[in-house]
A = this chain, B = another copy of it.
Amino acid sequence: MADGPGGGGQRGETLLFLTDEQLRKAIEAMFFAYKGFTADPDRILEARGYGRAHHRAVHFIHRSPGTTVNNLLAILGVTKQSLNRVLRSLIEDGLVESRIGTRDKRERHLFLTDAGEALERELGTAQRARMRDAFRHAGPEAVAGFRTVLEAMMDPEMRRRYQGLVESGQ
């Protein structure tokens, strides 16, 4: 009972006394933080006539070069029609290249062109800068806690996918 705010014991099966009020604050924090999280890329994208959907596509193609359309669909969790609209404009603008698969010729493998990499760098640099500043202000223990909570908040399937991405790089 002398555990400080939130009470508790060990990680994993902790007994936390969380009031609705505390949870509501966390919910609002998530809302406001996500606004900040997307603010910088949004500004850059707007100048180019792109939106958040383009950013997501560029990001995941950059981090997994050669990924297939189906892979991307699963990660982004949108319909192929929605993704295709975005992908088409990126290909037309010369930011993404789509190569027919060698093993399976039905698949399209997606790559960023030099121009695509340049945009990714611009977006990623801005977003990482914000994240880095937040991390520096919060300190290392906070960063660890942040990642832990975020992972616990994901849908199980997304968490699996996220952790798969983290470990294997594909």
Q: A144 to chain B: which residues have CB within 8 Å? A: 5-6, 142, 145
Q: Which 3 A-B pairs have the closest CB atoms?
A: A145-B145, A142-B145, A134-B152
Closest residue on chain B to residue A161 by CB atoms: B32
Q: A158 to chain B: which residues have CB within 8 Å? A: 32, 35-36
Interface assignment of A94: CB less than 8 Å from any CB of chain B: no
A27 touches B159 (CB 8 A): no
* In the bound complex, CA of A89 to CA of B141 (Å): 45
Given contacts A5-B144, A11-B141, A26-B131, 18 further A-B contacts (CB under 8 A): A5-B140, A6-B140, A6-B144, A10-B139, A12-B139, A16-B136, A20-B124, A23-B131, A24-B124, A24-B128, A27-B128, A27-B131, A32-B158, A33-B150, A33-B151, A35-B154, A133-B152, A134-B152
A7 touches B140 (CB 8 A): yes
Q: A36-B158, A63-B24 are in contact. Are A14 and B153 (CB under 8 A)?
A: no
A140 touches B4 (CB 8 A): yes
**Nearest-Cβ distance from residue A38 to partner chain B, whole angstroms:** 9
B26 touches A147 (CB 8 A): yes
* In the bound complex, CA of A16 to CA of B32 (Å): 24
Tell which of B14, B128, B145 touches A23, judged by Cβ atoms closer than 8 Å: B128
Q: What are 9 inter-chain pairs, A to B, with CB distance below 8 A? A: A16-B132, A18-B132, A20-B128, A32-B159, A36-B153, A36-B155, A139-B145, A146-B148, A146-B149
